[in-house]
Structure 1
Amino acid sequence: MARVWIEDRENHADYLEAMEKWQEAKRNGSKRRPPGRWRVRWYGPDGKGKAATFGKLPQAEAEMHAITARLDKGSYRDPKSGKAATKIVAEEWFTSKRKIGRTTRHDYRELLDNYVIPKWGDWQVGAIQWEDVSAWLTELETKPGKSGKLLGPARIIKAYRVLSMVMKHAVFSKRISSSPCHDHELPRPDDEDEHVYLTYDQLERLAAAAGEYRLLILTLGYCGIRWAEASAVKAGRLLVAKRRIRIVQNYTDVKGVLALGPVKNHEKRSVPLPRSFADELADAAKGRGSNDLLFMAPEGGPLRYNNFRNRVFDPAVKEAGLGGMGVTPHKLRHTAASLAIAAGADVKVVQLMLGHKDAAMTLNVYGHLFPDRLDEVADALDVGRKVALAMAGASLATAA
């Protein structure tokens, strides 16, 4: 039996009954269309029978050819699958995210519950069009968010990316053929995300002003590790002889609950440790077990970001004369990257140090800091060309 065929329903009992009801309704003034005489039938990839009816034979033939082509190319999808509610697809997508960390999971959940599902939850996933998403972005920019305040550009971009990932899941699950989340004009990120690059002198002043947490500031500013990673470094992962710190875990804080978990992107790594303060770190770790934290809160246990900012970091920034620069513990990563690049580190070294997923991300963020070495390339080409010309000249002289 053919996979796709057309069935004439002219003498089928259900068609004749439907026609009688339609004719009666028409006499009573109804303007609805008559029932479809031609039925396209086929078996989907799942082996189950499917059907769709059409009023005219050419329409049915066109659909038969289209379904046959999609089945042959492997691009077939069930026409009914696009009718699934977006909230169902969104939950499927969220459940499929098995490798994300606690903070990212919490953020995705919040964006789904506050912005994506309230807007799109009851929509059929196949009904969402590009212009609908564009109008939603305008709505997010102009109307107050869940807090009653306008959303910042960064939050709008995150909400859009969550919807985009849900739509991508719908494409992968063959509910829709293409995503409506593409080529949209997104708001510019806030200026508060701008990088801050401290000099050696500024970094040393800040570290000195941090008192007992001087070594933590130096580690953040020279090694480039994230705050969540620094707060989870254990004494046993300080490898002074090799001048390395092993980064394998971090602390995440979700609604005041700290939890120890894998590092971002699951990128375990070793970061370089300057010898100039490596021995001081070794002294600080003396007497501690290998599983004890290297940097701890005054009362013991892991440091909490907000407490550290309020009690130590912000006062140290002010004392060091760096107020107004927007310095934060996280932005010390930018200082570490800039100092490493200025010292001659290549992009791969900086990527590994910072724990970026790939070198492309490092170049996107810090590409402008790498020196322009075009003159060096031109000079090297000149040397090579001169050698080649000299050798060619010697060969001609010998031949003569």
Structure 2
Amino acid sequence: MARVWIEDRANHADYRKALGAWNEAKKAGSKRAAPGRWRVRWYGPDGKPKALTFPKLPQAEAEKRAVEERLDKGTYRDPKQGKILFSEVAEEWHGALRKPSERTRNDYRELLDLYVVPKWGAWQVSAIRWEDVSAWLTELGDQPGRRGKPLSAARIEKTHLVGSMVMKRAVMAGRIHLNPFAGHELTKADDDDDHVYLTHEQLADLADAAGEQRTLILVLGYCGIRWSEATALKAGRVQLDARRLRIVQAHTRVKGGMRLGPVKNHEKRSVPLLRSLVEVVRPLTVGRPADELLFTGADGTHLRYGTWRPEFDAAVKAAGLGGLGITPHKLRHTAASLAIASGADVKVVQTMLGHKSAAMTLDVYGHLFPDRLDEVADALDAGRASALATRGAGKPSEPRVQNAYCPPGGEPDGQ
């Protein structure tokens, strides 16, 4: 049993002095709490003495049992550690990020500054309760965001994730026992209506309407790479003979402009290039250094989204697709849908799109894969028929009846 005990301070000089001062202050109108008579004492895992005082004995006994249980189970946390402010833990967490890209770190920073720290920054981490976080998530859905519009379900989900990761650090550092951001039901973003799936004919019309950027539209619509990956694609990474595009970099928005960085999730990959597009892409590679960008703006530098988007929107309108809500990013949906319709399996689509897992691909595009239930049922029927035919081969046509048991001197059972 862990060493935890209760100490009665009634005869302690410091307690009697504090009690006298409290009585005098009370006569003068003070409403502060009386000094605690009962002190719970114990030694933490670090061997250092700890203590908490309580005004009533039942409170001290309850704390004694709780401390004993936490020490026995290895879930003990020093109460003083939980007094650190959320804002301090948030800075520790953000400063220690290693794996995320610079853009992701900037996104986290923005969410911290806009929504998370303004709410929780002045709170001690041990004071945050699950129900407090639940109420905050409801508030996020009701209040306007930075741009004056209600936050989307995806934005709320990501904001909650940032807060949860900060508190996870507090748990791992031994400052609190449980993460109050865990276990909350969040409204999932229903983005089915946001998906746009162009046909081959519609994609061709859009590409033709895009003029000099026709090739870019076709690459986005058939290869499924992200806009940031397409604008970072270099001539030396276009493998025309192998019909592959090597995706290893992406443009990342940082303070002061754009920067070439790793692809999302660090998922470097080779993307298939249609045979019919090889000759379309070839003119962009001829005579160009290997490290030169394939798709550039009119000034020869990297293609900027804000500059090109009006041209793209004009091409959408010219192609008669203005009512579909198509964007450059949503051409990934078209690439996925056309690949699935052609018979590509989930692993191929995952690789092409650069998803972290096949599960993610199925979450987004599972409804596009053909329903093969009848195909499976027919295959099972064929297997069943074959098995039953083999089972019945060489056996008598009439079922074999087992002789009834007949006891000595008696009639057969059941006769």
TM-score (norm 2): 0.87
Post-superposition CA distance 1:345-399 (Å, at most 9, x none): 111111111111111111111111011101111111111111111111124269x
Alignment of 1:208-227 (within 5 A): 208-227=208-227
Post-superposition CA distance 1:29-83 (Å, at most 9, x none): 6565543333222232334332112344454343233222212222111122232
AA in 2 matched with 1:359: A
Alignment of 1:48-197 (within 5 A): 48-182=48-182, 184=184, 186=186, 189=189, 194-197=194-197
Distance 2:68 2:22 in 1: 32
- Do the aligned partners of 2:2 and 2:71 also contact (CA within 8 Å) in 1? no
Whether 1:346 aligns to 2:345 is yes
Bigger Cα Rg: 2
AA in 1 matched with 2:354: G
Query: What residue in structure 2 maps to residue 391 of structure 1?
Result: 390
AA in 2 matched with 1:104: T
Query: What residue in structure 1 maps to residue 404 of structure 2?
Result: none
Distance 1:296 1:31 in 2: 72
Query: What residue in structure 2 maps to residue 380 of structure 1?
Result: 379
- Partner of 1:259, secondary structure, is strand
Distance 2:374 2:143 in 1: 52
Query: What residue in structure 1 maps to residue 412 of structure 2?
Result: none
AA in 2 matched with 1:356: H
- Partner of 1:258, secondary structure, is strand
Are the structure 2 counterparts of residues 382 and 322 from structure 1 closer, same or farther at C-alpha, using a change threshold of 3 Å? same
AA in 2 matched with 1:366: Y
Distance 2:12 2:70 in 1: 29
- Partner of 2:35, secondary structure, is coil
Distance 1:319 1:59 in 2: 75
AA in 2 matched with 1:211: G
Query: What residue in structure 2 maps to residue 327 of structure 1?
Result: 326
My pick for the range that moved more, 283-292 or 11-20, is: 11-20
Post-superposition CA distance 1:304-357 (Å, at most 9, x none): 11112123x122212211111111110000001101111111111111111111
Aligned residues: 399
Distance 1:72 1:268 in 2: 47
Q: How far 1:11 moved relative to its partner?
A: 4.1
Distance 1:89 1:309 in 2: 40
AA in 2 matched with 1:169: R
AA in 1 matched with 2:162: V
Distance 2:331 2:26 in 1: 76
Post-superposition CA distance 1:121-143 (Å, at most 9, x none): 11222223344334434443444
Distance 1:65 1:55 in 2: 17
Q: How far 1:147 moved relative to its partner?
A: 4.1
Query: What residue in structure 1 maps to residue 305 of structure 2?
Result: 305
- Deviating runs (4+, > 6 A) in structure 1? 190-193
- Do the aligned partners of 1:84 and 1:124 also contact (CA within 8 Å) in 2? yes
- Do the aligned partners of 2:19 and 2:35 also contact (CA within 8 Å) in 1? yes
Q: How far 1:110 moved relative to its partner?
A: 1.7
Query: What residue in structure 2 maps to residue 9 of structure 1?
Result: 9
Q: How far 1:8 moved relative to its partner?
A: 4.0
Query: What residue in structure 2 maps to residue 291 of structure 1?
Result: 291
Are the structure 2 counterparts of residues 188 and 363 from structure 1 closer, same or farther at C-alpha, using a change threshold of 3 Å? closer
- Do the aligned partners of 2:2 and 2:72 also contact (CA within 8 Å) in 1? no
Are the structure 2 counterparts of residues 251 and 53 from structure 1 closer, same or farther at C-alpha, using a change threshold of 3 Å? same
Distance 1:352 1:294 in 2: 22
My pick for the range that moved more, 277-286 or 112-121, is: 277-286
Are the structure 2 counterparts of residues 386 and 11 from structure 1 closer, same or farther at C-alpha, using a change threshold of 3 Å? same
AA in 2 matched with 1:241: D
Are the structure 2 counterparts of residues 94 and 26 from structure 1 closer, same or farther at C-alpha, using a change threshold of 3 Å? same
- Partner of 2:261, secondary structure, is strand
Are the structure 2 counterparts of residues 143 and 394 from structure 1 closer, same or farther at C-alpha, using a change threshold of 3 Å? closer
- Do the aligned partners of 1:152 and 1:190 also contact (CA within 8 Å) in 2? no
AA in 1 matched with 2:294: L
Whether 1:241 aligns to 2:241 is yes
Distance 1:43 1:168 in 2: 26
Are the structure 2 counterparts of residues 105 and 359 from structure 1 closer, same or farther at C-alpha, using a change threshold of 3 Å? same
Distance 2:2 2:390 in 1: 74
- Partner of 2:359, secondary structure, is helix
Distance 1:35 1:352 in 2: 66
Whether 1:18 aligns to 2:23 is no
Query: What residue in structure 1 maps to residue 410 of structure 2?
Result: none
Post-superposition CA distance 1:216-273 (Å, at most 9, x none): 1111111111000111111221122222211111001235601000000111111111
Are the structure 2 counterparts of residues 153 and 374 from structure 1 closer, same or farther at C-alpha, using a change threshold of 3 Å? closer
Query: What residue in structure 1 maps to residue 39 of structure 2?
Result: 39
Superposition CA RMSD, Å: 2.8
Distance 2:280 2:145 in 1: 48
TM-score (norm 1): 0.90
AA in 1 matched with 2:367: H
Q: How far 1:192 moved relative to its partner?
A: 9.5
Distance 1:331 1:81 in 2: 47
- Partner of 1:252, secondary structure, is strand
Post-superposition CA distance 1:190-219 (Å, at most 9, x none): 879610000011111111222222221111
Structure 2's unaligned 5+ residue stretches are 401-415
Structure 1's unaligned 5+ residue stretches are none
AA in 2 matched with 1:353: M
Are the structure 2 counterparts of residues 378 and 143 from structure 1 closer, same or farther at C-alpha, using a change threshold of 3 Å? closer
Are the structure 2 counterparts of residues 195 and 149 from structure 1 closer, same or farther at C-alpha, using a change threshold of 3 Å? closer
Are the structure 2 counterparts of residues 265 and 274 from structure 1 closer, same or farther at C-alpha, using a change threshold of 3 Å? same
- Do the aligned partners of 1:209 and 1:320 also contact (CA within 8 Å) in 2? yes
Q: How far 1:298 moved relative to its partner?
A: 2.1
AA in 2 matched with 1:322: L
My pick for the range that moved more, 316-325 or 249-258, is: 249-258
AA in 2 matched with 1:254: V
AA in 2 matched with 1:230: A
Distance 1:196 1:306 in 2: 21
AA in 2 matched with 1:345: A
